[in-house]
Amino acid sequence: MPATDPTPAVTGDEGALAGTAAALRAAAGRWDSSAVFLLATVGYLVVYLATVGDLALFGSGGALTVRVADDLSRALTGLGFFRFGAIAVVTVGPVTYLLSPLNLLLALFLAGLVGANVALTYLGLIQPRACGLESSTGILAGLPALLSGAACCGPTILLVVGIQASATLVTGFQLLVPVAVAMLVASLLLVGRQVDPALL
Amino acid sequence: MKRPVTRRAVLGALGAASLAGCTELGTGGARVDGRPTTSGGTGGTSPPTVTDHLPLPMEPSSLRSEAVSGGPPKDGIPSIDDPSFISAGEASNWLDPGDPVFGLVTDGGAKAYPQSILVLHEICNDVVDGQPVSVTYCPLTGTAMGFERGETTFGVSGRLVNNNLIMYDRATETWWPQVLATAIPGPWNDSYTTRSLEEFRLVWTTWKRWSNRHPETEVLSRDTGFAKNYERDPYGSYNPRRGYYRPGSSPMFTSFSDDDRLEEKTVVIGTRTPEGAAAFEKDTLRAQGLVAGELGGEPILAVHDPALDTGYVYRNPEGRQFEHRDGQVVDASGTAHRPAALPLERTLAFDAMWFAWSGFYPETNLYASD
């Protein structure tokens, strides 16, 4: 009977997952990387909500007001491009926020991924062994979702860059959020395996 | 609750409108351009239509194939189906004097529909003087148009043709491109018949001009029942004009038009009937006050209204002469008339971006200064 190795063999994918999980645990245990995570997450959350039109600085400058929609099922109504309806308008000072629960959930998910990428990139940079330029891909991976902000008819980003929309382009815009998620996850795995918690 | 429109009510409104001579909402034969109407269209609940349909730039089936998704799905842009109204004084708290509004005058009074609200809904299913109507606005073509809707309501299909809003009626799910105002086949109802909606005029003007003319006007309230930010126009601004509305900017999607006689976003006052189409550059009309033209081989006359900064178009078969004097239009006998009420038959006219107008009506006459 052949002797067995007490350490189970792991595939490359499992190694990346385990490495990333360990790196994330290490990041969560340090105040500096936790702060980086928080800053990046909140920053991305704000920028994402602004680009999809849920957050704006157009308020009247008054006290806190909340106006709730008559039909709360609008929260489940798709507005295209992974955008969903809002059920309340919250205004405080110059800030107007449209509360769309599904938009917020998606924004938190994306922002969490970006925050994790940035935190692990930070750890990769401060650990004694340099981990390479690919760490920065984690930040760039969040960009496609920021471009997905859509107006009533057509993607608003096209107005900014002056490109005329087409049916193909509009279809492509619907893929931006899934592409961003895939890129962020891939990037997280990539950077996670390059962080060695033992070196921190 | 929907209110039935009886023949008596229609005839009553017809008589009142004829006497008043200044209201925009016509019914059952009292249309502003005098075109005869049918009742009820092809189905009991489909919107009312007219006998002679308006011109189309191509076969209806081709229009369907030219339709593109703007992004949002059907009703992703929600129509306002239960509008409420506020006084002019209340509206002035959030409407800037230079903000655009779409005005409607009826025997029952005046109503203003702010562009800042309709840009996020595109359709307001309202009841005016007991008549069910839809006030519609397409931001990408700069067109505000009124339609009678009968017992049904209109919704936003999410599709565009020549950048223009394609509405659908909720009774038959037929597609109705807004500017064409004519049924085309669509994915939800292929068995269409070519027919055009009953339309009425909305006046595109500013809040200051409208409230000066109609101080007792009602104004569509921001309390639409939806959670929307009416401070934010996703396309740009008309006050001042920038973003998508800026002169020199391009349409969002490819347009039908290759007519470069004017810049794409130049505003024209367009009028079209089954006989043809004509457009008057708004700047030219503003500068000249009166501009003569031709529609389907017949003389027409465009008149500027300086108080509202809008234009009206009349059939002028006898070539009657008028003169603009102190905001009024004076005929050869010296009688003064308001620009909206010349003793001629008015055709339905409305503001539109030139690319949209020339794309839908490639044979249009154009009257513009060089």
pLDDT at B2: 36
- The token pair at B89 is 């004084």
How far is B241 from chain A, CA to nearest CA, in Å? 14
Kindly report the number of other CB atoms within 10 A of residue B31's CB atom.
Answer: 23
A148 vs B60 pLDDT, higher one:
B60
Which residues neighbour A43 within 8 Å (Cβ) at sequence distance 6 or greater?
A: none
Residue B156 pairs with which residues in a beta bridge? B167
Share of chain A above pLDDT 90, in %: 31
Q: What is the C-alpha to C-alpha distance for residues B150 and B109, in angstroms, rounded to an integer? A: 21
Residue B157 lies in a domain: yes
User: If you average pLDDT over residues B154-176, what whole number do you get?
Assistant: 97
Contact B234 A152 (CB under 8 A): yes
Phi, psi (rounded to 5 degrees) for B209:
-65, -45
DSSP assignment of B181-227, as one string? TB-B-BTTB------EE-EE--EEEEHHHHHHH-TT-EEE-S--SS-
pLDDT at A129: 60
Q: What is the C-alpha to C-alpha distance for residues B144 and B122, in angstroms, rounded to an integer? A: 9
Measured between CB atoms, does A98 come within 8 Å of chain B?
Answer: yes
pLDDT at A190: 83
Q: Which of A149, A154, A157 is nearest to A98 (CA)?
A: A149
Kindly report the number of other CB atoms within 10 A of residue B89's CB atom.
Answer: 10
Domain range for residue B21?
7-218
- Would you kindly state where each structural domain of chain A is located, as residue ranges? 14-52+101-199
Share of chain B above pLDDT 90, in %: 81
User: Judged by CB atoms within 8 Å, which residues 7-46 of A form the interface with B?
Assistant: none
Measured between CB atoms, does B73 come within 8 Å of chain A?
Answer: yes
Last residue of a domain, one of B186, B203, B218: B218
pLDDT at B41: 43
End-to-end CA distance of chain B: 52
Comparing alpha-carbon positions, the chain B residue that sits nearest to A74 is B226
Q: What is the C-alpha to C-alpha distance for residues B295 and A125, in angstroms, rounded to an integer? A: 73
Predicted confidence (pLDDT) per residue in A47-80, tens digit: 899 888 899 987 667 889 999 999 999 999 888 7
Which residues neighbour B292 within 8 Å (Cβ) at sequence distance 6 or greater?
A: B299, B300, B301, B302, B316
| Per-residue confidence band for B29, with pLDDT thresholds at 50, 70 and 90 | very low
Task: Judge if B40 and B129 occupy the same domain.
Answer: yes
Q: What is the C-alpha to C-alpha distance for residues A115 and A70, in angstroms, rounded to an integer? A: 35
Q: What is the C-alpha to C-alpha distance for residues A89 and A70, in angstroms, rounded to an integer? A: 12
Share of chain B above pLDDT 70, in %: 88
Measured between CB atoms, does A51 come within 8 Å of chain B?
Answer: no
Predicted confidence (pLDDT) per residue in B333-364, tens digit: 999 999 999 999 999 999 999 999 999 999 99
Measured between CB atoms, does B228 come within 8 Å of chain A?
Answer: yes
User: If you average pLDDT over residues B142-167, what whole number do you get?
Assistant: 97
Residue B240 lies in a domain: no
Residue B24 lies in a domain: yes
- Number of domains comprising chain B: 2
DSSP assignment of B309-367, as one string? TEEEEEE-TT---EEEETTEEEETTS-EE-TT--SSPEEPEEEEEHHHHHHH-TT-EEE
Q: Which of A147, A143, A149, A146 is nearest to A184 (CA)?
A: A143
For residues B242, B245, B248 and B252, what is the CA-based torsion angle, rounded to 10 degrees?
120
Residue B284 lies in a domain: yes
Residue B260 lies in a domain: no
B329, B336 contact by CB (below 8 A): yes
B35, B195 contact by CB (below 8 A): no
Measured between CB atoms, does B145 come within 8 Å of chain A?
Answer: no
Comparing alpha-carbon positions, the chain A residue that sits nearest to B162 is A166
Task: Judge if B303 and B174 occupy the same domain.
Answer: no
Contact B234 A166 (CB under 8 A): no
Measured between CB atoms, does A69 come within 8 Å of chain B?
Answer: yes
Phi, psi (rounded to 5 degrees) for A87:
-120, -5
pLDDT at B180: 98
Decide if pLDDT at B14 tops 50.
no
Q: What is the C-alpha to C-alpha distance for residues B104 and B210, in angstroms, rounded to an integer? A: 10
**Chain A residues whose beta carbon lies within 8 Å of the beta carbon of residue B241:** none
Which residues neighbour B192 within 8 Å (Cβ) at sequence distance 6 or greater?
A: B60, B174, B175, B183, B184, B185, B186
Predicted confidence (pLDDT) per residue in A113-172, tens digit: 999 988 988 888 887 664 544 555 556 666 776 666 544 445 566 666 667 777 777 777
Contact A152 B139 (CB under 8 A): yes
SS3 A47: helix
Task: Judge if B85 and B154 occupy the same domain.
Answer: yes
Contact A74 B226 (CB under 8 A): yes
Residue B234 lies in a domain: no
Task: Judge if B354 and B209 occupy the same domain.
Answer: no
Quickly list H helices, B94-164: 115-118
Enter the ipTM: 0.78
| Per-residue confidence band for B126, with pLDDT thresholds at 50, 70 and 90 | very high
Tell me which of B10-19, B49-58, B121-130, B313-322 is least confident.
B10-19
How far is A91 from chain B, CA to nearest CA, in Å? 10
A175 vs B316 pLDDT, higher one:
B316
Tell me which of A72-76, A139-143, B220-224, B274-278 is least confident.
A139-143
How far is A81 from chain B, CA to nearest CA, in Å? 7
Residue B262 lies in a domain: no
B15 vs B161 pLDDT, higher one:
B161
SS3 A73: helix
Contact B226 A155 (CB under 8 A): no
| Per-residue confidence band for B16, with pLDDT thresholds at 50, 70 and 90 | very low
Decide if pLDDT at A199 tops 80.
no
Task: Judge if B103 and B202 occupy the same domain.
Answer: yes
Measured between CB atoms, does B85 come within 8 Å of chain A?
Answer: no
Decide if pLDDT at B299 tops 90.
yes
Residue B176 lies in a domain: yes
User: If you average pLDDT over residues B232-238, what whole number do you get?
Assistant: 92
Cis peptide before B240 (omega within 30 of 0): yes
Measured between CB atoms, does B69 come within 8 Å of chain A?
Answer: yes
Decide if pLDDT at A6 tops 50.
no
